[in-house]
Amino acid sequence: MIDIPLSLVGSAEAFAVAVESHRADLEAHRLGKPGIPAPTAPRLHDLVDQVVLRVPDTGPVADRGPDRFVVAAYRIVDDTPMTAEAELAISVLRQTIAG
């Protein structure tokens, strides 16, 4: 599982769209004309490239199919700092549960 800080992507939904779009672009490129450079992720390039993986087909060369592009397991981790109010609320909740 790849943990990606929310502060680096801004929006989990937008990141998921960018990842799927890049995976689809790579699939389409694989089926396209030879000699054309592979597409790169336009935004958040390094993070998108980390979660879109190329998986080669296995078996005898004569029987192999084309490589597949899959999205690795990842999760967006909320790394925004807690406010003083949130910390107090959590502290009160812990005290209530404990005692």
Q: How many domains, in total, are found in the chain?
A: 1
- Report the amino acid identity of residue 41: A
Q: Do residues 15 and 4 lie in contact, with contact meaning Cβ atoms separated by under 8 Å?
A: yes
pLDDT tens digit string along 44-85?
A: 668 888 899 999 888 887 888 888 899 999 999 998 888 888
**Enclosing domain of residue 20:** 2-98
Q: What is the mean pLDDT of residues 27-54?
A: 81
- Split at pLDDT 50, 70, 90, the class of 4 is very high
- pLDDT value of residue 45: 67
Give the up-direction half-sphere exposure of residue 59: CA atoms within 13 A in the CB hemisphere: 7
Report how far residue 11's alpha carbon sits from residue 22's, in angstroms, rounded to the nearest whole number.
17
Percent of the chain with pLDDT over 70: 95
This prediction has a pTM of 0.71
25-29, 35-39, 44-48 — which one is most confidently predicted on average?
A: 25-29
> Taking Cα atoms as reference points, which of 78, 12, 70, 8 lies closest to residue 44?
8
